[in-house]
A and B are shown apart, each in its own frame.
Chain A
Amino acid sequence: MSALNIKKGSTSHSAYDLRDHHSQVVESHTLAVIVENEPGVLARVIGLFSGRGYNIDSLTVAEVDHTGHRSRITIVTSGTPAVIDQIEAQLGRLVAVYEVHDLTAEGPAVQRELALLKVAGKGDARIEALRLAEIFRANVVDSTLESFVFEITGTPEKIDAFADLMRPLGLRELARTGVAALSRGA
C-alpha cells in the first residue's frame, strides 16, 4: 500500500485540527474595516466572526463619511497569525467591505477607548476616588453628594487599571465604548 515508503501514522492530527497545524502564539490584532453604510452590514461582519469561530474582543462602529456612506468598524480580535490572515481575507471578500487594515501589522497605531464609571461612596473613599481620577486625568461629568460619574479616555489597559482601582472605592457601573484606532503618521 505505501508505495512511497512514507511512514504511516506519523501524527494523530485530523483534517479538522487545522489551527493546531500552524500552532503559534495567539496574538491580539486591531482591524479597521471600512464598509458601505447599508442596513445589515454590521450583521454581516459579526455573522462572519461567529459563523467561522473567530473571536471579537472589542467592536466599535460608526459612520465616518456621510456623503460617501462609509462606516468604520474597529475590531480587536485574537488568533494565530494564520487565523488573523484568514479573518482579513474573509472580511475582504464581503461585498459591502471596501478596505480591511490590520493596524497591528501595518505599523504603529494609536488606540483609544472612552469609559464612563459611576462610583458611589462617602468620606475617605470618595476623596480617594477623586484623587485617583486626577492622576488618571479622568473628568467628573456628574456628581451628587454620594456619587461621581468619571469620564476617562485612554488605552484599554489604562481603563482596566482605573476600573480596578475604583472597584474597592465603590464602582457601581461601567460603560465602555470599545476601541477606536488610527495608524500613526500621514
Chain B
Amino acid sequence: MTKQMTGAKMVVQALKDQGVEVVFGYPGGAVLPIYDEIFQQNDIRHILVRHEQGAVHMAEGYARSTGKPGVVLVTSGPGATNAVTGLVDALMDSIPLVVLTGQVPTFMIGTDGFQEADTVGITRPCTKHNWLVKDTEKLSETIHQAFHVATSGRPGPVLIDIPKDVQFATATYTEREKTRIAHYQPRREGDAGQIARLVEMMEQAERPIFYTGGGVINSGTRASALLRELVAETDFPITSTLMGLGAYPASGKNWLGMLGMHGLYEANLAMHGCDLMVNIGARFDDRITGRVKDFSPHSRKAHIDIDPSSINKVIRVDVPIVGDVTLVLEEVLRQWRARGSKTNKGGLDKWWKQIAEWRAVDCLSFKNSEKTIKPQYALQRLEALTKGMDRYITTEVGQHQMWAAQFLGFEDPHRWMTSGGLGTMGYGLPASIGVQIAHPDALVINVAGEASWLMNMQEMGTAMQFRAPVKQFILNNERLGMVRQWQELLHGERYSHSWSESLPDFVKLAEAFGCKGIKCDDPKDLDDAIMEMIRYDGPVIFDCLVEKHENCFPMIPSGKPHNEMLLGEADTQGVIGAKGAVLV
C-alpha cells in the first residue's frame, strides 16, 4: 500500500524509520512545515539549541558517543551557513551526520530571496555528499540514501536541502526497505594477499608498533575488542592518535600513550625507531608525522584504512590494505593464528627494554606548585577523582585539550569527544550536551579553556532547558594558551592579542544561566571543589584558575622529526627555525 503524505511529514516519518531518537535544531521560516510535524508527534525528541553551530557539534557529540548518526535540522540562509563549521569539523573527523536544511521555495531559488543561500553550493566541499530535493516524490528516498551514505564507508556529514514548497506538497512515501540504495558501496573486506604479507612481517618484526586512529572507533566496538586481542596476543606496543584514544585501554600494559606533536616521548620515539609500523585507521596527519622526510625512517609500513585516498596520501606505505578495520583485524588474527601465532620473541624483548628506558624519562612530569593550580595537576586530580565512573569527556581546542589527552585515561571507545582535524574552538560545550542527551545518567565533563568556551557559551541555555547536567571544567589561564606558547617559542615572546581582558565572572555567569558556578584557585581546595562539581545534580561551570604561563610539553616543533622532541622549557632555546615558523 502506498502512503501519501506531505514532504514535511515525510521528513519526520523517514527519521522515525531510520531509528532517529533525537534531532538538534533551530526553527526558521523555511523549515516551519517540518517543525509543525515535529510538534504533532512524540517519538522524536527535538533539542532546541541557541546557535546552529551548537546544533551540529551536539549532533557530533551524540554520534561519537553512541556510534549512531547525529541529526540536525536548521533553516535556510543563516541557519545553513551557521552550520558550516560543524559540517567541516565532522568531515575532518569522519563523524556521521545527517543535516536537514530548509530552503526558499523552488520557484524562488536564484532570486536572492529572503534568507536564501546556495546551501548545496556552500556545503559541497564541507560534506561527504549533499542533495537539493526539488521534488517531494524523491524526498523520502533521498533521506534514506543520506543515512546510508553518512554511515557507510568512511563516515561523514551529509546535507539535504529541502525547499519549503517541497515540504508542503504531497507525494508517495518510499519505505526505507524499498529505497533504491545508491551505488555507493565502499569495499569493506581487506585484500587477503596483502593481509598475508602483513602477517609475515608481524612474525619477523623486531621493533613493531601498532599506530591506531579514529578509524578503529568508527568501525565499532567490535574493532576495539579485536584490537585488544591482537595486542594481547602479539605483545606489540601500541600508540594512538588523539582521535583513537580509548580503542585500547590506557591501563593496558602495552599502551605507550598518545603520539604526535604533544604525544608521549616513548610513543614518538617508538614510532621513529620501529621496524614495522601497523597503521590501523589513522591517516598520517601532519600533527603525527612531523617532518615527513624523516618520519619513521627505518620501518616497513602497513596501512589499514577504509578510504583508499588516505593510503599513500602523505606517507608511502609498503602494505596498503583498504577495508573496514573490524573485518581486516578479524582476517589478520585468523591468518596469524592459523600460522601458529608467531612473533620474534628475542627482538621484542630488546624492544620492550628500549621502550622501558624511554618511559623512564617520565615525559609528562611537571613542576608542581603549592600556591597556584598547575593545569596538569588539575587534570591529574580530575582523573583520580572520576576514574571508574561512567564518564565521558569532551574538550575545546588548545593546550587544555592536549593536557586532557595526556593526563586523562580512556578505558573504552566512544568516551572521548574532541575536535581533532579541524581544531574547532567552541566544540566542547555543545558536544558535551549532545553526549549528555544520549547518556542522561552519565558524568559528562567538558575540559575547556576559557577562550574556547566563550565561543559557544550560549549553549548553557540549551543545557539548562533540557536538563543536561554537563560539567564545564574550565582551565582558566586568561590566555589563548596555545597561541601564547607558539608566540613564546616562535615569535620572540611578542604576545600579540593572545590574552583575554574583561573575562566574565564565571560564577556569576553560571548564576545568570541558573546553574551552579564554582571557582577554585588554590591547589588545596581543588579536590573538594571537583567533588562538589561531580555531586551537583545539574550543569556546573567550574572556573579553575590555573598557572597563566604553563607550556604544553612534550612538543615536536613543527618541521621537526619525532626524535627531536622538546621535553620542557630547558629544551626550547632557538629550536624552531624560520622554516618551522611557516608551518602551523
Contact = CB atoms under 8 A, between A and B. Distances in A.
B208 interface: no
Contacts of B195: none
A14 B580 contact: yes
A15 B291 contact: yes
A92 B571 CA distance: 45
A95 B292 contact: no
Interface string B559-576: 100011101000100000
Interface in B296-316: 297, 307-309, 311-314, 316
Contacts of B357: 3
Contacts of A107: none
A6 B565 CA distance: 13
Give the residue among B314, B563, B580, B582 with the most A Cβ atoms within 10 A. Answer: B563
Contact of B563 (A8, A16, A43): A8
B312 A86 contact: yes
Contact of B308 (A9, A18, A89): A89
A96 B182 CA distance: 9
B413 interface: no
Interface stretch (B35-43, B125-133, B323-331): B125-133
Interface string B532-563: 00000000000000000000000000110001
Contact of B579 (A14, A43, A85, A86): A14
B149 interface: yes
A7 to B, nearest CB: 9
A82 B316 CA distance: 9
B564 A40 contact: no
A3 B358 CA distance: 8
How many chain A residues sit at the interface, stated as a range, is 35 or more
Contacts of B307: 93
Nearest to A87: B309
A67 interface: no
Nearest to A36: B183
B293 A11 contact: yes
B312 A14 contact: no
A6 B563 contact: yes
Interface in A143-162: none
A48 B313 CA distance: 15
A177 B382 CA distance: 66
B503 to A, nearest CB: 35
Contacts of A47: 124-125
Interface in A1-21: 1-4, 6, 8-18, 21
B558 A22 contact: no
B563 A4 contact: yes
B347 interface: no
B583 A6 contact: no
A168 to B, nearest CB: 44
Contacts of B294: 6, 10-11
A4 to B, nearest CB: 5
Contacts of B358: 3
B269 A43 contact: no
A1 B571 contact: yes
Contact of B292 (A3, A10, A21, A43): A21
B286 interface: yes
B357 to A, nearest CB: 7
Contact of B286 (A9, A15, A21, A39): A15
Nearest to B132: A39
Contacts of A22: 316
B125 A14 contact: no
B273 interface: yes
B316 A51 contact: no
A171 B128 CA distance: 46
Contact of B183 (A1, A14, A98): A98
A94 B567 CA distance: 42
A93 B567 CA distance: 40
Contacts of A16: 286, 582-583
B107 interface: no
B289 A15 contact: yes
Nearest to A39: B132
Interface in A85-140: 85-86, 89-90, 92-96, 98
Interface of A: 1-4, 6, 8-18, 21-22, 36, 39-40, 43-44, 47-48, 51, 82, 85-86, 89-90, 92-96, 98
**Can you list the 7 inter-chain pairs with the closest CB atoms, starting with the nearest?**
A89-B309, A95-B129, A15-B286, A13-B293, A11-B293, A14-B559, A4-B273
5 contacts: A1-B563, A8-B564, A11-B291, A40-B124, A51-B125
